[in-house]
Amino acid sequence: MYRSGAVVRVLRAAQAARMPMALARPAPMAIRAFSSTFLEKGMVTERIMVVIKNFDKVDAGKVTEKATFKEDLGLDSLDAVEVVMAIEEEFAIEIPDAEADAIKSVEDAITFISSHPMAK
């Protein structure tokens, strides 16, 4: 009784040894491919300028590519956070806190978004 079980195990091991490796290992089920489709800087600039000009605490006439949030646009730190959140929403991304704190001007926002591969 015990011997027949041992013979079956030996036969199965021999069959497994003869199987090609492609059959022994399953193939990957799905392959994810990401493309780096960065947005054009001109398009990013235009969209960011519209977002900032539409912010209720900003004088639209003062918005330029070189404008800083605090000095030129007169935004306090909470207003600047709201602007960055509006930019996140516009481009459907989430900016980590460390990078969001570094965005102090329109130019900083344009540079960050135009170099972010997930911005839409």
Residues 46-81 pLDDT 10s: 999 999 999 999 999 999 999 999 999 999 999 999
Catalytic residue among 59, 76, 97, 101: 76
In a domain, 76, yes or no: yes
Please write down the HEC assignment for all residues of the chain: CHHHHHHHHHHHHHHHHHCCHHHHCCCCCCCCCCCCCCCCHHHHHHHHHHHHHCCCCCCHHHCCCCCECCCCCCCCHHHHHHHHHHHHHHHCCCCCHHHHHHCCEHHHHHHHHHCCCCCC
Q: Is residue 69 part of a domain?
A: yes
Check residues 8 and 106 and name the one with the higher pLDDT. 106
pTM: 0.67
Tell me the mean pLDDT in the region 81-106: 94
Residue 117: per-residue pLDDT: 80
Total count of domains within the chain: 1
Query: What rounded mean pLDDT belongs to the chain?
Result: 82
**Structural domain containing residue 104:** 41-114
Q: Is 76 a catalytic residue?
A: yes
pLDDT at 39: 82
pLDDT of the residue at 24: 55
Q: Is residue 53 part of a domain?
A: yes
